[in-house]
Amino acid sequence: MMKVIKYPKRETWQNLCQRAQIERKTLTSSVADILETVKLKGDRALLDFTEKFDGVALDSLVVQPEEITEAKTKVSTELKEAIVLAKNNIERFHKTQQSNEKKVETIEGVVCWRKSVAIEKVGLYIPGGSAPLFSTILMLAIPARIAGCKEIVLCTPPNAAGSIAPEILFTANLVGVTKIVKVGGAQAIAAMAYGTTSVPRVYKILGPGNQYVTKAKELVQIDGVAIDMPAGPSEVLVLADETAVPEFVAADLLSQAEHGPDSQVILVGTTAEILEKTLRELEKQLAALPRKTIASKALDNSRAILVESLTEGIAFSNEYAPEHLILASENASTVMDAIVNAGSVFLGNYSCESAGDYASGTNHTLPTNGFAKNFSGVSLDSFVKKITFQELTKKGIQNIGPAIELMAAAEGLDAHKNAVTLRLNQVENV
């Protein structure tokens, strides 16, 4: 169960914000070996790793149209409708992120502007395991399609029967994924980074995964493949005051704890009473939870912290920089402007983190492990690159040319200076 810390001094906060650490040297070596093997052997390596790690021998890696057709019949009408509702909300929110930037005349004769251009080929990683995350497909493929990505490749591990969960296939087909591949783990990241016969090489890889997937994403960047963000186990910080509902807070904590034994949940309370009531409710709800063994292990690595006020709680949260921050308070609006480090924020007693995970419209692919201090969650911007343009007229080069000549000369870059001087001479001699 969660360890309780009362009124910790600020000099101890950094230690309280630590996440579980993994043994990096062995992990890096193991993942690097997998990447190199896939690079050399392509599909053969993918098939071998799938048999080794997933326990299934596949004849083909790529999902066929008939498998998608069959999957559609296995998803209930009610779930299809729920997925479509979520899809519509996510589309609505992410379409607001489209923008047409204005041209700016920085000085007479010099016009500059910027254009968003879709990344042509993106790869999406969707974890499988005990809880196939078909909701993550919505979060990644929808903004990719809105951005205009031409190829959207999805990799996800097969089950013991060599198939993919029908919910994943239905959702991927619904939102326009162009290719679905039955491969998981670090080998899937390698396949999308380097390309194989079955898996197209992509320019950017997005999506959550275990420590092997995360390390693989980190390593392929060396070879010029972009990734969405550093990621790790899921986490939530709930800041609760006397107006919070203990049953709700306990449920929110467990909704993250059930993700995996390495997940972390932090409860920050402004009164001893709210901590005590929440922890009692936590035990009660945990006992009835199907994934209670997993959640219990996560809770063992988690903490309940008593602070003096909501303001102090926000200060602690900013130091922790949670993936998800829930302000379980009727007074959330009075302190929300002080939040500077968080992946996604949920305001008030009815804004459960599950809403953001599935259907409110915001994206649930978020920075973890403190990276909310310097990374944003996935958005439309994750699927585009920004290209700048500038156009100078004769008047424009006359207006800024002399300044460029002086600056280039001061840096000792004579060719830069000459590129301007030649143009100025030509303009003056016309």
Active site residue 323: yes
**What ranges make up the beta strands (E) of 102-227?**
104-107, 110-118, 121-125, 151-156, 179-182, 204-206, 226-227
Structure tokens belonging to residue 235:
């986490």
How many Cα atoms occupy the beta-carbon half-sphere of 38 within 13 Å? 30
Span 295-300, mean pLDDT?
Answer: 95
Q: Can you tell me the distance from the alpha carbon of 300 to that of 279, in angstroms, rounded to the nearest whole number? A: 13
Query: Shortest CA distance to 151 belongs to which of 124, 115, 182?
Result: 124
Span 62-88, mean pLDDT?
Answer: 97
* pTM of the model as a whole: 0.94
The tens digit of pLDDT for each residue in 317-356 reads 999 999 999 999 999 999 999 999 999 999 999 999 999 9
Q: Considering the candidates 323, 353, 364, 411, report the single residue annotated as catalytic.
A: 323
Residue 373: alpha-carbon gap to chain centroid: 14
Instruction: Answer for the pair 109, 396: CB distance below 8 angstroms, yes or no.
Output: yes
Identify the pLDDT of residue 97.
97
Using CB atoms within 10 Å of the CB of residue 412, give its burial: 0 to 12 exposed, 13 to 18 middle, 19+ buried: exposed
Tell me which fold the domain 393-429 belongs to.
1.20.5
Span 286-312, mean pLDDT?
Answer: 96
The tens digit of pLDDT for each residue in 212-259 reads 999 999 999 999 999 999 888 899 999 999 999 999 999 999 999 998
Q: How confident is the model at residue 19 (pLDDT cuts 50, 70, 90)?
A: confident
Instruction: Answer for the pair 264, 368: CB distance below 8 angstroms, yes or no.
Output: no
Query: Shortest CA distance to 250 belongs to which of 349, 127, 374, 108?
Result: 349
Out of 130-134, 138-142, 269-273, least confident range: 130-134
Backbone angles phi, psi at 363, to 5 degrees: -90, 140
CATH code: domain 24-102+118-227 is: 3.40.50.1980
Query: Shortest CA distance to 199 belongs to which of 1, 38, 31?
Result: 38
Q: Considering the candidates 324, 330, 364, 428, report the single residue annotated as catalytic.
A: 324
Q: Can you tell me the distance from the alpha carbon of 365 to that of 94, in angstroms, rounded to the nearest whole number? A: 13
pLDDT at 130 over 70: no
Identify the pLDDT of residue 24.
76
- Please give the order of strands across the beta sheet that includes 104-107: 104-107, 110-118, 384-392
Report how far apart, in Å, the C-alpha atoms of 243 and of each of 269, 286, 310, 355 are: 11, 23, 11, 21
Active site residue 324: yes
Whether 24-102+118-227 and 232-376 share one fold: the answer is: yes
**CA gyration radius, the chain:** 25
Query: Shortest CA distance to 171 belongs to which of 68, 281, 246, 301?
Result: 68
Report how far apart, in Å, the C-alpha atoms of 343 and of each of 13, 244, 317 are: 19, 22, 11
| Cβ neighbours for 387, distance < 8 A, ≥ 6 positions apart | 114, 115, 117
The tens digit of pLDDT for each residue in 242-251 reads 999 999 999 9
Query: Shortest CA distance to 394 belongs to which of 356, 424, 429, 351?
Result: 424
Q: What is the mean pLDDT of the chain?
A: 96
Rounded percentage of the chain residues whose pLDDT exceeds 90: 93
Residue 292 burial (CB count, 10 A) = 16
Tell me which fold the domain 232-376 belongs to.
Rossmann fold (3.40.50)
Calculate helix-pair angle for 246-257, 292-300, nearest 10 degrees: 100
Structure tokens belonging to residue 65:
């149209």
Per domain, the residue ranges of the chain are 24-102+118-227, 232-376, 393-429
Rounded percentage of the chain residues whose pLDDT exceeds 70: 99
How many Cα atoms occupy the beta-carbon half-sphere of 249 within 13 Å? 27
Q: Can you tell me the distance from the alpha carbon of 375 to that of 180, in angstroms, rounded to the nearest whole number? A: 28
The tens digit of pLDDT for each residue in 87-106 reads 999 999 999 999 889 999 99
